[in-house]
Amino acid sequence: MSSTTIDPTPSRREPGGPAHAAGGSGRPAGLSTGPGPSFPRVLNAEFIKFRSLLSSVILLVATAAVIVGIGALASWGIGQALQSSGADPQRSAALAAQGDIAASAPGAGISFAQLILGSLAVLIISSEFTTGMARSTFTAVPRRIPAFVAKLIVVAVSAFVVTAVSLYISGLVAVPIFEQYGHTLDVSSDHYWRTLLINSAYVAAVAAIGLALGALLRNSAGGIMALVGLFFVLPIALQIIQGDVVKELRKYTPDSTLTPMTASQHFPDTLEAWQAALVLGAWVVIPLVLAGFLLKKRDV
Amino acid sequence: MIEARGLTKVYGDKTAVAGVDFTVQPGRVTGFLGPNGAGKSTTMRMIMGLDRPTSGTVTVDGVPYARHAAPLRDVGALLDAKAVHTSRSAYNHLLAMAATHGIPKQRVLDVIEMTGLGEVARKKVGGFSLGMGQRLGIAAALLGDPRTVILDEPVNGLDPEGVVWVRNLVKYLASEGRTVFLSSHLMSEMAVTADHLIVIGRGRIIADAPIQDIITGKDRGRVRVRTDQAAELTRLLTADGATVDGATVDGQENELLEVTGLEPRRIARTALEHGVMIYELTPLRASLEEAYMELTKDEVEYHSLITTGDTAPAQAGGN
């Protein structure tokens, strides 16, 4: 510890700064002497916090690896299937009935990506409560909601960008794989781009739900379990249970909204694309509003 | 200036802070002394807007903390050493805090230098010793060059050198006209650091006075009196007590009295004038530590057996 005595000189303001530092008593009460936590500053701070954690970086890289890796594997598998079915007109027709199956191959890793990025979003806020960082965060931003919204933007935009870029790379990797099997994959069509962007927005929505769960539960394991429950356990449970009501409920789980939004045609027992978008929107907005309300109200 | 009015915090059926009123003045170091669990940290969290008071208000320079336009520039707080994400470096922690208020990077480097964190600033906070964590907390508190500084148990875990450093730092900050409010459960630490003392026990303010008054036990001077006519003397001294503020008479044994608030000379004169024989008259000069113990003896939440075993005979059989 080199600097254990108080050295007033380096601690004082840089030249040109407000000259208040010399005498605290000279400052008028209740008047701040510099900028406060405006939203762009809070957003910048949350971005610094996000990128200065190794775990964020690792999970983003892992997401990209999973999307590209599983996309390549799926392209390879689907390419083989298409090639072998080429000789068989019946199977070929069956495959064609599922829409452009080749175009879906690059996005085969989405369900894993949503889990990783959803967990990352849970951790972004739950770790603040488990480590005590929340006290620092909400001391700097005592209105709290701006910090919460900034976290939402940072995590949702990161999820969207990483997913979109990874899907694009996954598509570029898939093209030569399909070519090997004599199939062309058009990664420049409007439909392909639309699907790519919807997939990315969907993953961003999952991240937003994760953030809300992390803020509500304030516990990393609990938040991730709730997310897994919502996206993996609930759909399986609803598949197992029989009945008309359950069959109807299946359409409204958040994970079942993706297919109707990206499909080139409407499948039976699914929502219309616009309905699915609304349902997913509700899954995002309701937990977020509840989390924001309680974040403002509860003690930190 | 920090002003608390009727500040109350109830958790479930437990009252952590019970309607406290106090004012922390600028330009001096105000100590916030109380045993563990007395309500110090809860009070400080309410000042910082982290815990919502059940009732009452607390303001800093006339405004609740959450309504300050640039809170970190007005108030800096070390609430506990662990208000940091353990996987982030000290530098990045301070940089993110600074970014919320547009505080330049140079100020971050300055507070790192000031608090002696230079060598470890780029390391993860998770690996910090308790003392390093405290230094980081103090660095964060000073980031906005605030006119009010609130430090909760700042010397916890610091080495002796660090303790002296904090002591000098808070005195220096107060000498600049800032409001300095620091808590501790150690009377000895307060004796050498604070100018003014607010003592809290079980959520209530027990004393709020200049440190000198509390050290000398000005209001609390006790005298042990032994007499065969305890009841008569009690009556007489109580009557005298009406002229002396806060005088009380405590009958402990049949013939042993502890008189508070009267000078020994006055007690002897009263006894002489009324023909009451006294055969012991002992002023009990409390050390600061004893004064604190006495102030809080009914307010400590968790008595240790050793402490109660030691103090009981000292009070009853001090002959």
Whether residue A243 has pLDDT greater than 50: yes
pLDDT band of B261, cuts 50, 70, 90 = confident
Pair B158, B166: CB distance under 8 Å: yes
pLDDT band of B295, cuts 50, 70, 90 = low
CB contact under 8 A, A3 and B118: yes
Structure tokens at B48: 């910082």
Whether residue A19 has pLDDT greater than 50: no
* Cβ contacts from A onto B, under 8 A: 178
Pair A214, A125: CB distance under 8 Å: yes
Nearest to A132 among B68, B74, B84 (CB): B84
Where do the DSSP E strands lie in chain B?
A: 2-11, 14-24, 29-33, 55-60, 75-78, 148-152, 179-184, 196-201, 204-210, 222-227, 248-251, 256-260, 278-284
**CB contacts, 8 Å: A138 with chain B:** 49-50
* Rounded distance between C-alpha atoms, residue B106 and residue B103, angstroms: 8
Task: Out of A20-29, A242-251, B43-52, give the one with best mean pLDDT.
Answer: B43-52
Q: What is the largest CA-CA distance in chain A?
A: 89
By C-alpha distance, the chain A residue nearest B160 is: A4
* Rounded distance between C-alpha atoms, residue A267 and residue B108, angstroms: 58
Structure tokens at B129: 């010793």
Interface check B103 vs A, CB under 8 A: yes
Whether residue B23 has pLDDT greater than 90: yes
Interface check A15 vs B, CB under 8 A: no
* Rounded distance between C-alpha atoms, residue B275 and residue B278, angstroms: 9
pLDDT band of A1, cuts 50, 70, 90 = very low
Whether residue A70 has pLDDT greater than 90: yes
Interface check B130 vs A, CB under 8 A: no
CB contact under 8 A, A128 and B96: no
Average pLDDT over residues B302-319: 44
Tokens 């240790």 sit on residue: B304
Whether residue A180 has pLDDT greater than 70: yes
Structure tokens at B297: 């003896």
Residue A167: CA count within 13 A, CB half-sphere = 31
Of the candidate ranges A8-12, B45-49, B97-101, the one whose mean pLDDT is the lowest: A8-12
CA distances from B133 to A133, B83, B84 (A): 13, 9, 9
Measure CA B121 to chain center: 31
Do the bridges between strand B148-152 and strand B75-78 make them parallel or antiparallel, or are there none, so unpaired? parallel
Encode pLDDT of B167-215 as tens digits: 999 999 999 999 999 999 888 888 899 999 999 988 988 889 898 877 7
What spatial distance separates the first Cα and last Cα of chain B, rounded to whole Å? Answer: 47
pLDDT band of B217, cuts 50, 70, 90 = low
pLDDT value of residue A269: 78
Adjacency order of strands within the sheet including B148-152? B75-78, B148-152, B179-184, B29-33, B196-201, B204-210
pTM, rounded to two decimals: 0.82
Nearest to A17 by CA among B90, B73, B284, B224: B73
Indicate the Cα dihedral angle B48, B52, B53, B56, nearest 10°: 80
pLDDT band of A21, cuts 50, 70, 90 = very low
pLDDT value of residue B73: 95
pLDDT value of residue B245: 34
Tokens 């970190």 sit on residue: B72
Where do the DSSP E strands lie in A41-173?
A: none
Residue bearing the bigger pLDDT, B18 or B36? B18
Output DSSP code: residue A271: -
pLDDT band of B310, cuts 50, 70, 90 = very low
pLDDT value of residue B134: 93
Nearest to A55 by CA among A116, A9, A113: A116
Within a 10 A sphere around the Cβ of A277, how many other Cβ atoms? 18
**Percent of chain A scored above 70 by pLDDT?**
85
Measure CA A92 to chain center: 36
**CB contacts, 8 Å: B52 with chain A:** 297, 299
Interface check B71 vs A, CB under 8 A: yes
| Average model confidence (pLDDT) across chain A | 86
* Rounded distance between C-alpha atoms, residue A261 and residue A159, angstroms: 18
pLDDT value of residue A281: 97
Mutate to test the interface with B, among A14, A32, A137 (most CBs of B within 10 A): A32
pLDDT value of residue A23: 37
Of the candidate ranges A163-167, A277-281, B157-161, B216-220, the one whose mean pLDDT is the lowest: B216-220
